[in-house]
Amino acid sequence: MDAISVIRTKRDRGELTPEQIDWVIDAYTRGEVADEQMSALAMAILLNGMNRTEIARWTAAMIASGERMNFDTLSRPTTDKHSTGGVGDKITLPLAPLVAACGAAVPQLSGRGLGHTGGTLDKLESIPGWRAHLSNEEMLNVLDTTGAVICAAGDGLAPADKKLYALRDVTGTVEAIPLIASSIMSKKIAEGTGALVLDVKVGSGAFMKTIEDARELASTMVALGTDSGVRTVALLTDMSTPLGLTAGNALEVRESVEVLAGGGPQDVVDLTLALAREMLDAAGLKDADPEKALSDGSAMDVWRRMISAQGGDPDATLPTAREQHVVTAPASGVLTRLDAYDVGVAAWRLGAGRARKEDPVQAGAGVELHAKPGDTVTEGQPLMTLHTDTPEKFDYALKALPDAYDIAPAGTSFAPLPVVRERIA
């Protein structure tokens, strides 16, 4: 077996054999296949695709590159959620403790932000003392004692994916649906959860811009999970507008705590509850009431225990940026569009995100929204506030925003897209 023959097979629109897939994943993980060779193969996959058999084998090979976790010792059923990433997508923060408060165990392995999309670990690291990196033993202990854990995946979990993910990010192959699906599902299957709900974003702020692409990705991942014995369902959710009223690390933690306290923006609450119901149903807890767990404070109690168990102080003052800049409405009327991608780019440029994995992020940086599509605004009214520790970043961030919103004449009718657009099972 050699890398060139594998590349040529997919370049010429052939079907990779199970032996070719097993070999190339193993050889790349060991360093026998060079980055430039895997880059060529990834581009061939982007351009020519993979069938279901190839994707399933590719995913299995990624899983086989590392360890598999096991939660059989837990007394609760396990259920997890994965989001494909968006702007203002802080849903994991209130969702994990909420589902745990309803009787499930939630082993949430999360990642960091890159580019315009935010990362759950970056958000939680704005809480003083909180630790993302836990050993498998520590993770199991937090899960057993609190019902939920949010942490980074260990180095032993699907190491082939970790290496390939970094390569895809710098070679223009992130959007390859077979590679996205196998990347997500190899980690989730290796994680060992019994049920999985996929939040597949669609819209300008998502990797999947069209409903057709989002549907294809969701269907592929649901099939992979089902074939591996994991109860899997997907929701296609809107990412044309940022979720909630904040995009940025500490800003989103504050908003998440508001949701756990029984408040928060309605779209964040609605999506949190929709995903919670799916997770609980998949875990066999159909009679649980997540809405009650939000209102009676039990979800907040789990949040506080979970943060404390990972070294964080749930009562600590969260970081705030040293500088702010207010963007005002240029005219009066109805805000009919607020582009998620443009807002995400502005937050990223302010310091909330990173261009490379090794770049630091500012805990207090980001964008705070004062209006959402459908709201009536007046000329001069604040539309958003930009936050950063480095005011020289304002000009660069503002360049992302001139075309980020539309204001129509007063009285213009507006029908927002639903937060949940489709369900695929």
Residues annotated as part of the active site: 82, 161, 168, 183, 187
* Cα separation values, 207 from 40, 56, 419, Å: 21, 22, 17
Pick from 114, 93, 363: nearest CA to 244: 93
Q: Which of 267, 212, 219, 206 lies closest to 418 in space, CA to CA?
A: 267
- Of 249, 251, 252, 255, which is closest to residue 354 (Cα–Cα)? 249
Q: Which two tokens stand for residue 1?
A: 């077996």
For residues 179 and 165, give the distance between their C-alpha atoms in angstroms, rounded to a whole number.
9
Q: What residues form DSSP beta bridges with 406? A: 337
**47/40 Cα distance (integer angstroms):** 11
Residue in this structure with the two tokens 């506030």, named with its chain if needed = 385
Amino acid letter for position 319: P
The backbone torsions φ and ψ at residue 239, rounded to the nearest 5 degrees and listed phi first, read -135, 35
Q: Nearest-5° angle of CA 386, CA 389, CA 392?
A: 75
Q: Report the alpha-carbon distance of residue 293 to residue 261 in Å, rounded.
A: 10
* Nearest C-alpha neighbor of 88 from the set 113, 107, 111, 125: 113
- For residue 117 the two structure tokens come to 């999309």
Tell me how far CA of residue 263 lies from CA of 65, 190, 403, in angstroms: 43, 35, 31
Strand order across the beta sheet in which 405-408 lies:
376-377, 333-338, 405-408
Cα 85 to Cα 112: distance, rounded to the nearest angstrom? 10
Cα 251 from chain centre: 17
Cβ contacts of 277 within 8 Å, gap of 6 or more: 290
- Given a contact cutoff of 8 angstroms between Cβ atoms, the answer to whether 299 and 101 are in contact is yes
Single-letter amino acid, residue 91: I
CA terminus-to-terminus distance, the chain: 38
CB atoms within 10 A of CB 203: 23
Cα dist. 334→77, 202, 343, 413 in Å?
46, 24, 18, 8
